Structure 1
Amino acid sequence: MTSSDDRRSLPPAAPLDERGNLIGRLLPFIAHRRLEPGDRLPSERELAERFGVGRGAVREALAVLETLRMVERRPNSGIYLRSVERQGSIEAMVLQAELGVPLAESEVREVVELRRIMEIQGVRLAASRRHTDDIQRLDTILAEGAWLVALGENLADYDAAFHLAMVEATGNHVFLRVVNAFYLMSRNRRWQYFADGMRAPLSHQQHVAMRDAVAAGDPDAAEAAMGSHLQSVEGYWLELLKRRSRGD
């Protein structure tokens, strides 16, 4: 049991906003220094001095990165960078995206490929397994989408809600959690995608086609509708990579 004296001797935990802010500064710092997997990070003391925070805040921020398998502590040696591509968690990619750390070109291509795999399989399973309440959920979301299109609003959050509801119709909750992580990771970019108001009506029409195919229990038609939808989105991502390679 911890005594009151022991509790008084413990350093206070860093506030959540301070910790998140520090992580948001640490990741670009690592990227700027071009540290490679296996490279040693500066010590806690050095990082605390560089960022003007206490060592406790640094320790907690590093603990978060360690939990996400982005760094590792080696006893009596220090803190080392892991290979995020090979050893990091999907949550690590979500965190990087939320903090504005861009994905590498290879990662963007792999995310696009993974989305196609997940969404195609998801919509086929949904067409085979859907229940009445799944279709009702999709209809509610589609009604909201039609309203947003009429108002000229950004469809980013609606788009995610529709696709997640489609995966929910598979009945596979682990699948839903994985796809949810993907949509969290791509949220900022999705807002930019739908900033072009011309994309909203077409996207909504494609969602309706997917819903109708799933409601009819037709996996092939559902896959075809999803394939057309993904082709539009993938074209955007590939054009984005071209602009990045040109330095636009």
Structure 2
Amino acid sequence: MPTNANRTFPADETAPTPQSLIGAMLPFLRAGEFEPGSRLPSERDLAERFAVSRNTLREALTTLEAMRVIERRPQSGIYLRDAASEASLDTLVLEADYDLPMTADHVRELNEFRSIIELQAISLACDRGSAAQLAAIDAVLDTTRLRLAAGCSVAEQDAAFHLAIFAAANNQFLLRAANSFYLASRRRRERFFADPDNGRRSFAQHCKLRDAIDKRDRLAARKLLGRHLGSVERYWLSTLPQPESTKRTAR
């Protein structure tokens, strides 16, 4: 029987769901105790560690395997996959849903990925975007303007604006990748746009991006977007905890 020290869930939670179990297992798997490729504890041991039934555990493992977090090998056991080289974008969404912390390297690489796909998307939007797709961008900006005037968050409108650019690129695979990114960054956007000043600055930049797309000016659009994405990256890096060595130097 598991001891209280092994419990991951509140004592009054008698029937954890597979989803809540995934939320407990992800930090456990990413804590560094297990190297990529190493064998994890058995189903029995994991069930005891997290104080859950074997059925609940198996459902959670099935999801983690589908997301390429783990691999189950018949007659061998459960193995941890390499998150950097094997996990899918859906895994990123899953980890973000549970608000797992990101390192500075993760922030930089995620923003690098975003820059690669979004700079290409806005170039294509300048070339391929239709009048109807530009009208969709305008509709998002109109809603953003109204919400800012009412003092409301524009986190959802920010994602909608950028996804409308991807839609105007007329490439379904770019749009699919963007959907995963914006789902994964949902919680961070909510925190960012809790500050009304961030919403106003972002809206002003979005309006300039819209005008560049309307003029089909690829060079201006890419330059504006590069600045926009760079400011976002600097903001998120500034929110990360500083290493102790950096703190001592700053003093």
Give the TM-score taking structure 1 as reference length. Answer: 0.88
- Output the aligned Cα RMSD: 1.7
Give the AA of the match of 1:245.
P
1:20-99 superposed matches below 5 A: 20-32=19-31, 34-99=33-98
Offset of 1:75 from its aligned partner?
A: 2.1
Offset of 1:225 from its aligned partner?
A: 1.9
Alpha-carbon separation, structure 2, partners of 1:225 and 1:116: 12
Question: Any unmatched runs of 5+ in structure 1?
Answer: 1-16
Q: In the alignment, what sits opposite 2:130?
A: 131
1:107-146 superposed matches below 5 A: 107-146=106-145
Aligned counterpart for 2:243 among listed residues 220, 238, 245? 245
Q: 1:35-81 CA deviation, whole Å, 9 max, x = no partner?
A: 21022211111122222221011111111111111111122121010
Aligned residue for 2:17, secondary structure, equals helix
Q: 1:135-177 CA deviation, whole Å, 9 max, x = no partner?
A: 1100110000001111221121110000000110000011101
Q: In the alignment, what sits opposite 1:222?
A: 221
Offset of 1:245 from its aligned partner?
A: 2.9
Whether the 8 Å CA contact 1:97–1:103 is kept in 2: the answer is: no
Give the TM-score taking structure 2 as reference length. Answer: 0.87
Higher helix share: 1
Residue 175 of structure 1 pairs with residue 174 of structure 2: yes
Aligned residue for 1:177, secondary structure, equals helix
Residue 187 of structure 1 pairs with residue 186 of structure 2: yes
Give the AA of the match of 2:188.
R
Alpha-carbon separation, structure 1, partners of 2:223 and 2:67: 36
Aligned residue for 1:34, secondary structure, equals coil
Alpha-carbon separation, structure 1, partners of 2:198 and 2:34: 39
Aligned residue for 2:102, secondary structure, equals coil
Q: In the alignment, what sits opposite 1:162?
A: 161
Aligned residue for 1:175, secondary structure, equals helix
Question: Any unmatched runs of 5+ in structure 2?
Answer: 1-15
Alpha-carbon separation, structure 1, partners of 2:224 and 2:87: 33
Q: 1:182-202 CA deviation, whole Å, 9 max, x = no partner?
A: 011111111111122111111
Alpha-carbon separation, structure 2, partners of 1:61 and 1:81: 14
Offset of 1:33 from its aligned partner?
A: 5.8
Give the AA of the match of 2:144.
G
Q: How many residues matched?
A: 231
Whether the 8 Å CA contact 1:214–1:222 is kept in 2: the answer is: yes
Q: 1:179-221 CA deviation, whole Å, 9 max, x = no partner?
A: 1100111111111111221111111011111111101111112
- Aligned-pair identity in percent equals 44
1:230-241 superposed matches below 5 A: 230-241=229-240
Which 4+ stretches in 1 moved above 6 angstroms?
A: none
Give the AA of the match of 1:35.
F
